[in-house]
Chains A and B, each alone.
Chain A
């Protein structure tokens, strides 16, 4: 078990480098795809900028604060999508029976599925979000300390892991229902759209749901509130923004249980 975990990073690296090499075979095409991926994914921020041509504050958030929310939501989802997003194609493999091949190779099926068709161009989303984040911090007056810097980096890592776990949970559900790939989009891409905005505007029920049921609020909302010194909704303590790593650990445990349960359920294809 321990040995498998220790070997996993290098195995995963080998698998994704194979795909990177193949996409680099046409460098011009890759640059073009990367650029268009950035343009396409920055559209959500363009929408926010267009909104701010009419308003000065959205649910108590200024444009720069919205930019920070957008950037953190987009970076976390973007990195999770880059490294685990391909896993949503597992339904296709289950239906055609090609998933069998993963089970007989000396690398965990999970790593192979997550690395399947690794697309480096997906880095376009976190890249454009990083630019937006620089813009946000240039306009925001944050009282920077080393602790806050560490907290921001750790929160982004935790948010990425939470989104990654949701991708895996969605994929695990496809062992039950092979055609349901799009269902997970509600929580992954839908989650990104949701967390780009101050969650309090969606009402108390939604805030409760994304705190206690699908913990999307821990991806960026609570950490950003903490960083900006804004009070947390529902009378929650402000240090709730520090709990993201804990939530990430719980989500990983859930996702790993679900993936294992799905894998056990796999019976190959019958036709």
Chain B
């Protein structure tokens, strides 16, 4: 479906109200006039949508904090037994814990509500409505995901990190350039993760039961992102392989940028992330166009 196509209100009088989820309903008139602005509007509304689940967010942040303390206890022991393990000192290891807990939800290591919904829409056929919109499918869902990520980064990332910093002596980037590097690293990490999650969601166009695919993605992401243990601790070949995967770019790499521990410096770390983004988003774009050409929705 060409992206320039715009529903004619006279031909499709209901196209605005009928097809859009409730929480997005007020942007359809808007999107006919604006092309780039619409994606910003989507992201802003997605941000607001997630900011309404206050208690759920607070209990999630509490759980991240509890896990942060547990992991700190484990890593303190581990780095006490082996000081300097993986090139980290104890402060690095503790900072890793709180950044890991803070990035878990925003980056969507275990999947995210937004791409989960996309997968559900592919399964149910509601995706037809998304394809009907005069927006690009990938950009639409990327905007939705970025709005979500931004909110979760502020609250579910910020709150545990603040608690961790009050209790432990954590490392923080010291120069404005380092902060800029961190911001770029986290943003790119979200893009890499989105690329993977989008591909998994769209696999539903070819596989009827995508749960297996989702589980596989979950296993790979948990193992290779640095979620079970910092990748610097992975021994030998497993470590080398893990550090080259796209999942490393979603968590280990941005944390190493924060710590200033990337083997080749921040620049090469960002390039590594960019490389995977190009591969994943090109793949995603290809899959989108193939899928929309072959798509057959229930009932015709």
Which residue numbers of A lie inside 8 Å of B, CB to CB? 26, 29, 32-33, 36-37, 39-40, 43-44, 46-47, 50-51, 53-55, 57-59, 177-183, 185-186, 190, 193-194, 197, 201-203, 206
**Residues of chain B with a CB closer than 8 A to A183's CB:** 59, 62-63
Kindly state the separation between the CA atoms of A33 and B215 in the bound complex, as whole angstroms: 8
Indicate if the CB atoms of B62 and A186 lie closer than 8 Å.
yes
B271 at the interface (CB under 8 A from A): no
B63 and A185 form a contact (CB under 8 A): yes
Residue in B59, B77, B81, B215 whose beta carbon sits within 8 Å of that of A179 in the complex: B59
Give the distance in Å from the alpha carbon of A36 to the alpha carbon of B211 in the complex. Answer: 10
B105: min CB distance to chain A, Å:
10
Contacts of A186 in B (CB 8 A): 62-63, 66-67
> Does A190 contact B66, Cβ atoms closer than 8 Å?
yes
Chain B residues near A37 (CB-CB < 8 A): 215
Closest partner residue, chain A, to B73 (CB atom): A202
Contact of A40 among B66, B218, B234 (CB under 8 A): B218
Bound Cα distance A59, B75 (Å): 11
Q: A180-B56, A201-B77 are in contact. List 14 more A-B contacts (CB 8 A).
A: A26-B209, A32-B212, A33-B215, A36-B216, A37-B215, A43-B219, A47-B229, A50-B228, A51-B229, A54-B78, A54-B233, A55-B82, A58-B78, A201-B73
Q: Is the CB of A53 within 8 A of B67?
A: no
A43 to B242, CA, bound (A): 15
Q: Which residues of B lie under 8 Å from residue A47 when comparing CB positions?
A: 228-229
Q: Could you tell me the distance in whole angstroms from the C-beta of B24 to the nearest C-beta in chain A?
A: 21
Say what secondary structure dominates the interface of chain A.
helix
B162 an interface residue at 8 Å Cβ cutoff?
no
Contact A29 B211 (CB under 8 A): yes
A29 touching B212, Cβ below 8 Å: yes
Residue B60 at the A interface, CB < 8 A?
A: yes
Residue B53 is within 8 A (CB to CB) of chain A in the complex = yes
Check B223 against A43 for contact (C-beta < 8 Å): yes
A-B contact count (CB 8 A): 98
Please tell me which one of the listed residues A51, A179, A185, A206 contacts residue B53 in the complex, with CB atoms under 8 A apart: A179
Residues of A within 8 A of B59 (CB): 177, 179-183
The answer to whether B77 and A59 touch across the interface, beta carbons within 8 angstroms, is: yes
Which A residues lie within 8 Å of B218 (CB)?
36, 40
Taking CB as reference atom, which chain B residue is nearest A43? B228
- Flag whether B70 is at the interface (Cβ < 8 A): yes
CB distance from B258 to the nearest CB of A (A): 22
Q: Can you list 19 A-B pairs with a CB-CB distance of less than 8 A?
A: A29-B211, A32-B215, A33-B215, A39-B219, A40-B218, A43-B222, A50-B229, A53-B235, A57-B81, A179-B55, A179-B56, A180-B55, A185-B63, A190-B67, A193-B70, A193-B71, A194-B70, A201-B77, A203-B73
* Cα distance, A62 to B46, chains bound together (Å): 49
Per the bound structure, the CA–CA distance linking A43 and B219 in Å amounts to 8
Q: Is the beta-carbon distance between B212 and A58 smaller than 8 angstroms? A: no
What mask results when residues 219 to 246 of chain B are scored 1 for a CB within 8 Å of chain A, else 0?
1001100001100011100100000000
B218 and chain A: residue at smallest CB distance: A40
Q: Does B85 contact A (CB under 8 A)?
A: yes
Least CB distance from B131 to A in Å reads 28
Least Cβ distance of B201 to chain A in Å?
A: 18
A29 / chain B contacts, CB cutoff of 8 Å: 209, 211-212
Query: Using Cβ atoms and an 8 Å threshold, which residues of chain A touch B278?
Result: none
CB distance from A178 to the nearest CB of B (A): 8
**What sequence of 0s and 1s flags, for each residue 29-60 of chain B, a beta carbon within 8 Å of any chain A beta carbon?**
00000000000000000000000011110011
Q: Are A58 and B77 in contact (CB under 8 A)?
A: yes
Q: A183-B59, A190-B67 are in contact. Are A54 and B215 (CB under 8 A)?
A: no
Complex Cα spacing A33 to B71, Å: 28
Indicate if B154 sits at the interface (CB-CB under 8 A). Answer: no
> A197 contacts which chain B residues (CB < 8 A)?
73-74, 77
User: Could you say which residues of chain B place their CB within 8 Å of the CB of A179?
Assistant: 53-56, 59
Beta-carbon contact of A54 and B235 below 8 Å: yes
Closest B residue to A193 by CB, please name it.
B70
- A46 contacts B228, C-beta separation under 8 Å: yes
Q: A40-B222, A182-B56 are in contact. Are A50 and B73 (CB under 8 A)?
A: no
Distance to closest chain A CB from B238 (angstroms) = 8
Q: B70 to chain A: which residues have CB within 8 Å?
A: 190, 193-194, 202
Quick check: A54 and B211 within 8 Å, CB to CB? no
- For B235, give the chain A residue with the smallest CB separation: A53
Interface centre among A33, A186, A206 (most CB of B within 10 A): A186
Given known A43-B222, A50-B234, A54-B235, contact A190–B228 (CB-CB < 8 A): no
A37 to B235, CA, bound (A): 25
CB distance from B157 to the nearest CB of A (A): 16
State A14–B235 Cα separation when bound (angstroms).
49
List chain B residues, Cβ under 8 A from A202. 70, 73
